[in-house]
Structure 1
Amino acid sequence: MKISELSRRSGVSVATIKYYLREDVLPAGEPTSSNQASYGDGHLRRLRLIRALIDIGGLSLARVRDALAATENDELPLHDAFGAVMLGLDDPGMTVADDDTVGEVRDWLADRNWTIAPDAPATRRLAELIGILRTFGLPVTAESFSAAADTAEATAIDEVRYAHDQPDRIASVEMMLIGTVVYERAMAMVRRLALEAASARIDDGTGIDDPARG
């Protein structure tokens, strides 16, 4: 398809597509003349992924580029590619977590038998968030997140299996990338809805002992 058709089908302007091409986040098309190229369904899929990462995930173009690089590095085992994707979604230098809290989180992860890379940004990010909650007087520990971790683990297993079942490596890593960004936002929305529902039950005297009530 021509770039105009790619723009129409993706909802991304021609100017933005050309920008993504210049910034190497979108692969070049197949040249058809000195100043034109043809694009395929792979370009359409990649454009949708880029827009989701930017619009929903809030990632900068530089971070999108780094994350997408993992989808194309054939030298990385698939697990390491998944890890590179996770690493690209956060910046460990931005955290201000207390070392004791980081140690607490790492001990909790070890107790769960979760194999996590030592430099995984999410470890320090969770420790930082626990620290923030504590400054507001909330009696939170890493163990407080065990129930949520059980649910997350069950859904993560399904996500990873689904990613492994994709027809090619790029599709597998892309699935992990978009699943991580969008699914996290979806879970955050579910929690907001749960908070509103719990508040309504407490305010009207219904109570929250039986979540199925009301």
Structure 2
Amino acid sequence: MRIAELSRRSGVPAATIKYYVREGLLPPGVRTHRNQAEYQDEHVSRLRLIRALVDIGGLSIEAAKELLGVLDSGGLSARDSLGRVQYALGGRRSLLGDEQRSGAAEDIAALFDRRGWRIDADSPARGALIDVCAALRLLGHADVVAVLDEYAAASEAIAATDIALVRKEPDLERMTETAIVGTILGDTVLSALRRLAQEHLSGTLLPSSDSTVPDEL
């Protein structure tokens, strides 16, 4: 198919398709004439994956390019692929000093010990969690840090579901794609589900705006 047909089938403008090719996210088509190229169904699928990662998952072009490079490498185990996905996502850049982060780092190390989690010291997610916990303490919300074990338990159950989905795929390519899609889009799914659950439970567990809080006896 020509680029116009590829654009129609994928819903991606031709100019954006050319941009993805230049950036290395999308393989080029087979050149048939000086200014023409033929594309295949695989290009349609790849474009849908790119748009899902960028538009729904919120990835930058550079992050999407790195993750797609993991998918295209084809030489990594499922475990290594998942690790590359995690590290490619990076973490938030801390604006806090070492002194402010040190207490939070101890909290997180203790959490890992309690749960028996083996996490690399340079894990971006570990750094992000330390930064969040430090910020929570500075804001006077240490009560959130105090329930990290409950959040960790729920997260471990979710991660077990993620890994089960990856393991049941028939080949390494599908396992890698599932790891990428499940991690990126899964974050969006979990965020949406959490907000929906909060909306549901708040109706019965929190007072409405016109409710009066009884005086303490």
- TM interval, shorter chain, is 0.7 to 0.9
Distance 1:78 1:47, change over 3 A: same
Q: Tell whether 2:172 aligns with 1:169.
A: yes
TM-score by length of 1: 0.83
Aligned twin of 1:26: 26
Q: Is the 8 A contact 1:53 1:181 kept in 2?
A: yes
Distance 1:143 1:18, change over 3 A: same
Aligned twin of 1:203: 207
Aligned twin of 2:215: none
**What's the % identity of the aligned pairs?**
36
- Computing the radius of gyration from Cα coordinates, the structure with the larger value is 2
SS at structure 1 position matched to 2:81: helix
Q: Tell whether 2:10 aligns with 1:14.
A: no
Question: What amino acid is aligned across from residue 94 of structure 2 in structure 1?
Answer: T
TM-score by length of 2: 0.82
Instruction: Extract unaligned runs of 5+ from structure 1.
Output: 206-214
CA RMSD of superposed structures (Å): 2.3
- Higher alpha-carbon deviation: 196-205 or 72-81: 196-205
Structure 1 CA distance for aligned equivalents of residues 186 and 162 of structure 2? 10
What is the aligned residue count?
A: 204
Q: Of residues 103, 110, 113 in structure 2, which corresponds to 1:107?
A: 110
- Higher alpha-carbon deviation: 141-150 or 178-187: 141-150
- Higher alpha-carbon deviation: 12-21 or 110-119: 110-119
Aligned twin of 1:81: 81
Q: Is the 8 A contact 2:81 2:176 kept in 1?
A: yes
- Higher alpha-carbon deviation: 103-112 or 14-23: 103-112
SS at structure 2 position matched to 1:32: strand
